[in-house]
Amino acid sequence: MSAPPRSPLTADKIRPGDPYELSEGELVACLPTGERGGRGNLVGGSVLDTDPAVESAGVDVGVSVRPDMLRAPDISVGNVHDKPGWASAAPPLAVEYADTGQDEGELQRKMVELLSAGTRWIWVVRLSGARRVEVYEAGAGLADHGEPSPARSPSGGRARRQPALSPARVAYPGEALEAPGVLKNAVPVEALYDREAAHEVTLRNLLQRKGYESLAAVQASGREEGLRTGLRDLCELLAIELSPEREAALGAMKEAELLALRERLKRERRWP
């Protein structure tokens, strides 16, 4: 889009890549993300996208549940499909990164519209000052003052109501965030902005998607399989028949049981 169109607008008049959102038919300029915000978007998106319960997620996905609205959360979790165009349903969980110079009034309006459209939780990651995450929930903390805001939209349109949301919770480093029904795992606050913390959580999530609860579980599984191989070799040397029942028992044993069986075979030279 070479020049901003006249307001009021509908979402179908804005193309992917245009630097605008749409609020009540009014254009809202979207500026480039700073360095801290860009890093946060990347690592936070990885953490949330890999959660075992998440089927879809995206970054800067335009959400338009009605013609005069187009909002793009920094991270959307859920209702993000592999197709062109705007998402027609709001994500159950949305994440916004707020840094120095954040337009708080516009952020409030954006959150109100997303929560009203069906988003259940919005996490606002505060990157300036003390690191923290504000948690906003649908149906909680909204107080519309009922008076128009003195600020006008970037397109020079009418003044709009200035909503006011209060967070249901503020979480700090060392604490965790939950989104029941959307995420399987709690998310450490640091994992939404700290690269190392995000990598640890992402690895845990990926392992869980493959059936392992943690890296320690993978390591234990490797040790157990090595013990089973050694026990089969020992049985062969001792001329101990491994029937299907005994193979099934071997497959079900954990590390401590396998170690105990090895000691008994060495001592008694027969299957216990």
Across residues 231-237, what is the average pLDDT? 91
Q: What is the pLDDT of residues 187-204, one digit of tens each?
A: 999 999 999 999 999 999
* The pLDDT of residue 140 is above 90: no
β-pair partners for 76: 58, 94
The conformational region for residue 60 under phi > 0 = left, psi -120 to 50 = alpha, else beta, is left
The residues pairing with 140 across neighbouring beta strands, listed in sequence order, are none
Mean pLDDT over 7-25 rounds to: 90
Q: Which pLDDT does position 220 carry in this prediction?
A: 86
pTM: 0.78
> Which class for 210: exposed (0-12), middle (13-18), buried (19 or more C-beta within 10 A)?
exposed
pLDDT digits (tens, 9 = 90+) for 26-70: 999 998 889 999 999 999 999 999 999 999 999 999 999 999 999
Residue-wise pLDDT tens digits, 206-231:
999 999 888 888 888 899 999 999 99
Q: What is the pLDDT of residue 161?
A: 58
In tens, the pLDDT along 164-177 reads 789 999 999 999 99
Question: Are the C-beta atoms of 86 and 11 separated by less than 8 Å?
Answer: yes
Residue 101 C-beta-side C-alpha neighbours within 13 Å: 6
pLDDT bucket at 144, cuts 50 / 70 / 90: very low
Highest mean pLDDT among 12-21, 120-129, 132-141: 120-129
Flag whether pLDDT at 262 surpasses 50.
yes
Pairwise CA distance, residues 70 & 16, whole Å: 11
CB 62 within 8 A of CB 72: yes
Distance CA 69, CA 119 (A): 14
Q: Can you tell me the distance from the alpha carbon of 153 to that of 159, in angstroms, rounded to the nearest whole number?
A: 7
